[in-house]
Copies of this chain bind each other. A is one copy, B any other.
Amino acid sequence: MASFLEIPPATDAGDSPPPDTALRRRSPSPALLATLEKKFGARFSRSTAVLLQHGTDESAYPPAPPDAVVFVTNTDEVAFVVQACAHERVPVIAFGAGSSVEGHLLAVQGGVCIDFTQMNVVLAIRPEDMTATVQAGVTRSQLDAALAGSGFFFSVDPGADATIGGMAATGASGTNTVRYGTMRDNVRSLTVITAGGEIVRTASEARKSSAGYNLTQLYCGSEGTLGLITEATVRLHPRPEITAAAVVNFPTVRAAVDCVIQAVQAGVVLARAEMLDALTIRAINAHSHLSMLERPTLCLEFGGGQAQVDEQAEWVRQIAAECGGGEFQWATRQEDRSRLWTPRHHAYFAVLQLRPGSRCLTTDACVPISALADCIEETVIDIAEHCLLAPVFGHVGDGNFHCLVLVDPNDRSEVELAEAFSQRLVRRALRHGGTSTGEHGVGLHKIGYLVEEHGEAAVAVMRSIKRALDPLDILNPGKVVTARA
């Protein structure tokens, strides 16, 4: 993606940056580089292409390459790199699939990038405990492949084929969070390298525990700023006997949201509940040569035994009708379900085709479900008032929705309009009791909203934790909060 946002100065919420740390580059010494090269051989690189690739993500920021990249294969190697870098206070940044959309992996202060893609071994699958343990670089699709035929699946699906380690570090989620929860709900334990290069296992293999502070959840979502995740044990879920998909349109966004709220309240166990607005449907019609009604549309999925699915489908059909829903399309066979879900699967690329040559700024507001219809309606008015081209779709069951603001990356005024819209949307979400980021993480892009969202006292606690666990400020510095070390 072409970059069009400027990397913000190295500050965090509520602080002016001390001048000497603003975008200060802390590059490894020749001796450190030699140590790493000796240890990793061909798995050490300083080639321009490799550095550029590892300083580039899916965000709108320009690349910020590290000084070196090492390709690790096990936990001990990660510990070695961190220890070596700690000695010189050189930053270390984890790199998985590179699919961050908020600038998480940009080496804004230089340093050594640890590439996890060769740590891609599925270490254990335990059907009785319904868990799998993987190296951090295993991708979603690699884990899926390893689970083929097991009767189980891993539920978190953020769209991109991200690594499990990256998803844990970001606190990612996706379309079936409404039923199976976010990454936070699906990580049982982590192996983590601390800023001192120590190996921490955050929890036992038991399903639950009250033994001490919850380190699993502290590292999960900490974006590599408190420790580097090298292995993860995740929950698996039994594949439902029957999975059914449905698509139904509504006269208004509010009616679609109401339908989902009422279904969940009635005890319907929705596996997915995605809402696409009329503009998104228009884009899909153009992209896939379809002729769907250009109205707010829900894509639903539910699963269980045949009797359960039949029963719940009937409930949803009644609720949808009461909410003014249109014809209820319905499928249970895999190929029919895929066809029905085509609109949702193709939404991103279809939307980009609305304006060839454009790039998109993706928003990530998440509000209480009771406020979702209001928040989306206000956002759609904002889009119209500012003449933006920005389809809206989202995970209705979670209160999380994304606007894809299409901009010409070379037109500064357009970019500024889009970023101003993004800022208004965050503040609107906060006014509605929501969050600046439902699932994409803070990275560089949301740092400025942390105090507005959590208050000074809470951010001070976060900063205390950062300082305590990374006193030298070497772990992905400049992201989430800064240590001001």
- Point out residues on A near B: beta carbons under 8 Å: 126-131, 151, 170-173, 177, 182, 184-185, 194, 198-215, 217-218, 220-222, 226, 238-241, 261, 264-267, 304-308, 310-312, 315, 366-370, 398-400, 429-430, 433-442, 446, 449-450, 453-455, 457-462, 464-469, 480-481
Contacts and interface: CB of A to CB of B under 8 A. Distances in A.
Given A200-B455, A368-B126, A210 B400 contact: no
A129 B439 CA distance: 18
Nearest to A458: B200
13 contacts: A128-B368, A131-B368, A170-B210, A184-B208, A194-B457, A200-B461, A206-B399, A207-B368, A209-B437, A211-B435, A218-B218, A307-B307, A465-B468
Nearest to A367: B206
The number of times this chain is found in the oligomer is 2
Given A238-B264, A458-B200, A461-B194, A366 B213 contact: no
Given A171-B214, A173-B208, A212-B442, 8 more contacts: A204-B453, A208-B398, A211-B446, A212-B458, A212-B459, A212-B481, A213-B480, A215-B458
Contact of A442 (B207, B210, B311): B210
A454 B221 CA distance: 21
Nearest to A267: B238
A195 B480 CA distance: 23
Given A218-B218, A469-B461, A434 B210 contact: no
A311 B315 contact: no
Nearest to A170: B210
Contacts of A200: 454-455, 457-458, 461
Instruction: Name the residue in A211, A222, A261, A434 with the highest tally of chain B Cβ atoms < 10 Å from its Cβ.
Output: A211
A266 B240 CA distance: 8
A454 B201 contact: yes
Given A204-B433, A368-B205, A171 B267 contact: no
A69 B160 CA distance: 54
Contacts of A261: 128
Contacts of A450: 211-212
Contact of A368 (B185, B206, B398, B439): B206
A454 to B, nearest CB: 6
Nearest to A126: B370
B184 A214 contact: yes
A207 B433 contact: no
A129 B267 contact: no
A258 to B, nearest CB: 9
